A and B are shown apart, each in its own frame.
Chain A
Amino acid sequence: MKQSPEKKARKKAAMAYLVSAPSLVLIFLIVVFPILYTGYISFTNMNTYHWFNFDFIGLSNYGRALLVFDSGFLSALLMTVVWTAVNMALQLMIAFLIANLLNVKHLPLRNVYKTILMFPWAMPGYVSILLWKTGMFNSQFGLLTQWMEDISGLTVRWLQNDVSAFICCTVVNLWLALPFMIMIMDGGLKSIDRSYYESATLDGAGPIRQAIAITLPCLKPIIGPSVMITLFTTFKQFDVIYLMTQQVGSQTGAHIHTIITYAYENAFITNNYGYSSAISIMIFMMLIIFAQVTNRRSKEANA
């Protein structure tokens, strides 16, 4: 008996869900469930004093969480936006430049360069950050400090003031994030049809004109999702700034806070899981709104 087209389509859709089911279950357990559970905890008084016998307390934690969103939080939010913008701009420019250099015709030892460039990605972030902190920026033993002393005779405390600490954190973040962006851009560049460039060369377009008129428009849809992922990773950055400047026992005197480090220092250390969960959910909502706005703008730009 022949099946109707609707039945066939339904069967096809069911099969698609079926084969995706294991992944969906995993995503639910690893991603969705923790978010839902955090949301649930945010409505309770779970803390050191009510660890196992916590009660539902409605929106109280959200009321208290609003107190964290004070002037300090607003300046942390502004800092987060600046941090994200600076890092994304630099990442895209540097990755674009390096990816293009890696695609220069007849480049010798191309694979060696690629392996070296991937190296920071292979190292645990925690190790990389602390290596930079002690190996490069330390005021006693850091390589940069010693170079600076040799050149100018001055001992620079790189991480002590806000501006230089921000620059140092940006350098470390770029070191950690560039391999991913370079890899994506390298792949994107390879996927662009060479005939476009040949035609452009025949038409008299130089390398810069070719980059603006061919490379960038062709790369945009390919690297879009990666840029989005990196954007959020940078926005919710914690490790780099905390470990470089704020780790208990090795604070440096700089006061740069992103929203996550600010929330950590003003809520998460209290062991009040209900209260901290409410703040997490509010930051999560902010990220969702940010994602929606960014997506809409991206769609409008592509339309």
Chain B
Amino acid sequence: MRKVLCSLMVCVLFLLTGCSGSTDPQGAKSGPVTITIWHDKEDAVIAVLQEAVQALEPEVTVLFEKKTGMTESLKLVGNDQNAAPDMYFFAHDKIGVYAEMGILTPITELLGEDALAGYVPLTIQGATYQGTIYQVPLYFETLLFMYNKKYMAQEDVPATTEQLYSYMQRKTKYGHYGFVEQHSTPYYAAGWIHGFGGSLITDAGVPCLDSAEVKAALDYHKKFVAYMPGETEYATVNTLFMEGMAHATIAGPWFVPTVRAAGIDVGIAPMPVVDETVLPLAPYSGIQGLHVLKVQTERKKDAIVKVLQVLMQPEVSVKLAKVSGCAPAVESCYTLEEVTADPLIMAMKQTAETAIPMPNIPEMDVMWTVAGDLLTNVNMSGQDIESAAAAAQKKALELIEAMK
């Protein structure tokens, strides 16, 4: 009996200790180093990176691991030397959260102050949190104004929002829509708010949902919503455009290959300018790049720097832009013909002049939900803008307070 009990205890202890993983620090060994990079990207993008880092083998081997739920995983193991990756490849919008958690290494500590001097300013703006750069940008994406050339003639492509409205009034009938967008999703509606000179939140983390600019944008935007379908989530909007039932839309570059595969002759145009403010719709931009985990930096610094330097080469950026449908982060790429000849990339570069990087401050985490509620209440539930904005502002302040 005692023997059985002892065996059981040993099994339980084995199970418990087994969960803690290996404690062998790789950095203590000399010789080849393995760098692990978590990502959430498609295979074609990773193939470009993998090909580029092969030059470092056998001294440095880079292992790309696709992770679902990466942002949550990083919160759980971001400071665990045995479980955390060395780097991760993701959009810039979580930088503030991870920087506050203390799991990121400033890029300038690894590469020096001037290493990112030749980058598109928008990308550096996105990679910076409280004056420190935490990301090596690889490429960026912005929303684009897309239209179906079969239905929208070149002369009908709206230069201003009033022209767009007029087009919607004329063409929204018999199951067709002149223009559709995800009107109640903050990521998409932010372009309209920025077009009125407003924003969802300041750099200091103060919500602006009841500001005059936001209310003016919501009020103006409502008349466009009246000519769009009731539900305008991702699937509905994209399906309407792909089936030729929507003549124009605002969508990300990732949508273009799907649209082309569906046989749509798609055109890309600059964002319409708001007549009242003479500012273009200025969408959010996402900057995709590499972030380095602090917990691994000390023992693998040299290898990490080598990997970053290889992946920062302009030719890698160009290849990445081609396969991802996004725009290179390195400014010098825009002198190359293969980049300038690509209308999609150049449209994004043009939009980048006015686009705004998604806020990377931790407070933004709650703003997506609160701003989404505000947009839904105004656009879909018909609530009064004044009271809905005041309620949203109050809720945003409460939630931001609750974060601390």
Structural contact, B373 and A251, CB atoms closer than 8 A: yes
Q: How far is the CA of A11 from the CA of B402 in the complex (A)?
A: 54
Q: Which of A14, A255, A265, A270 contacts B1 (CB 8 A)?
A: A14
**When A140-B229, A253-B376 are in contact, do A48 and B403 touch as well, CB less than 8 Å?**
yes
Is B240 touching A140 in the complex (CB atoms < 8 A)? Answer: yes
Query: Which residues of B are found within 8 Å of A48, using beta-carbon distances?
Result: 97, 100-101, 362, 403
- Of B5, B187, B234, B399, the residue contacting A270 (CB under 8 A) is B399
Q: Does A38 contact B (CB under 8 A)?
A: no
Chain B contact residues: over half helix, strand or loop, or mixed?
Answer: helix
Among residues of B, the one whose C-beta sits closest to the C-beta of A162 is B381
Contact of A49 among B11, B236, B404 (CB under 8 A): B404
Residues of A within 8 A of B372 (CB): 248-249, 251
Complex CA distance for A182 and B354, rounded to whole angstroms: 58
A263-277 near B? 1/0 per residue, CB < 8 Å: 001110111100100
Interface centre among A21, A25, A47, A249, by most chain B C-beta atoms within 10 angstroms, is A249
> Is A47's CB under 8 angstroms from B404's CB?
yes
| Most B CB within 10 A of own CB, among A18, A48, A267 | A48
Q: Which residues of chain B are near A21, meaning CB under 8 Å?
A: 8
Chain A nearest CB from B180 CB (Å) reads 10
Distance A154 CA – B187 CA, assembled complex (angstroms): 31
Least distance between A256 CB and chain B CB atoms (Å) = 12
- Inter-chain CA distance A25–B101, complex, in Å, is 33
Given known contacts A48-B100, A51-B102, is B185 in contact with A253 (CB within 8 Å)?
no
CB-based contact A64/B404 at 8 Å = no
- Bound together, the chains give a CA A139 to CA B229 distance in angstroms of 8
Q: Please determine whether A251 and B380 come into contact, CB atoms closer than 8 angstroms.
A: yes
A11 to B376, CA, bound (A): 65
Interface string of B99-134 (1 = CB under 8 A from A): 011110000000000000000000000000000000
Question: Are A272 and B402 in touch, CB under 8 angstroms?
Answer: yes
Give every chain B residue within 8 A of A14 (Cβ-Cβ).
1
CB distance from B229 to the nearest CB of A (A): 5
Residues 214 to 269 of chain A near chain B (Cβ within 8 Å): 248-253, 255, 265-267, 269
Within 8 A of A (CB), among B366-392: 366, 368-369, 372-373, 376-377, 380-381
Interface residues on A, range: 35 or more
Cβ of B161 within 8 Å of any chain A Cβ, yes or no, is no
B44 within 8 A of A: no
Are A160 and B404 closer than 8 Å at their CB atoms?
no
Complex: chain B residue closest to A65, CB-CB: B402
Would A49 and B100 be within 8 Å (CB), given that A248-B372, A251-B380 are in contact?
Answer: yes
A249 and B404 contacting across the interface, CB-CB below 8 Å: no
Known: A51-B101, A272-B404. A249 touches B380 (CB 8 A): no
Q: Write out the residue numbers on chain B whose beta carbons fall within 8 Å of the beta carbon of A253.
A: 376-377, 380-381
Complex CA gap A48/B365 in Å reads: 11
- Chain B residues near A155: list those with CB within 8 A: 230
Q: Do B97 and A157 touch across chains, with their CB atoms under 8 A apart? A: no
Cβ of B297 < 8 Å from any Cβ of A? no
Q: Say how far B184's CB is from chain A's closest CB, in angstroms.
A: 6
Q: Quick check: A51 and B75 within 8 Å, CB to CB?
A: yes
Residue of A nearest to B371 (CB): A248
Interface: A23 (CB within 8 A): no
Contacts of B103 in A (CB 8 A): 51
Q: Which residues of B contact A196 (CB under 8 A)?
A: none
Choice from A25, A157, A248, A255 contacting B231 with Cβ under 8 Å: A157
Residues of B within 8 A of A249 (CB): 182, 185, 187, 233-234, 372
How far apart sit A255 and B236, CA to CA, in the bound complex (Å)?
A: 21
Q: CB within 8 A of B369: which of A11, A265, A272, A275?
A: A265
Contact of B368 among A25, A157, A248, A275 (CB under 8 A): A248
Contact B102 A52 (CB under 8 A): yes
Min distance, Cβ B207 to any Cβ of chain A, angstroms: 13
List residues of chain A with CB within 8 A of the CB of B8. 18, 21-22
B235 within 8 A of A: yes
Which residues from 15 to 35 on chain A have a C-beta closer than 8 Å to any C-beta of chain B? Answer: 18, 21-22, 25
Q: Given the known A-B contacts A48-B101, A251-B376, are A270 and B403 also in contact in the complex, defined by CB atoms under 8 Å?
A: yes
Minimum Cβ distance to chain B for residue A189 (Å): 41
Cβ of A141 within 8 Å of any chain B Cβ, yes or no, is: yes
Q: Return chain A residues, CB-CB under 8 Å to B182.
A: 249
Can you show 21 pairs from A to B with CB atoms below 8 A apart?
A14-B1, A49-B362, A51-B102, A51-B103, A138-B236, A139-B230, A140-B236, A160-B230, A249-B233, A249-B372, A251-B373, A252-B376, A253-B381, A255-B381, A265-B373, A267-B402, A269-B369, A270-B399, A270-B402, A272-B403, A272-B404
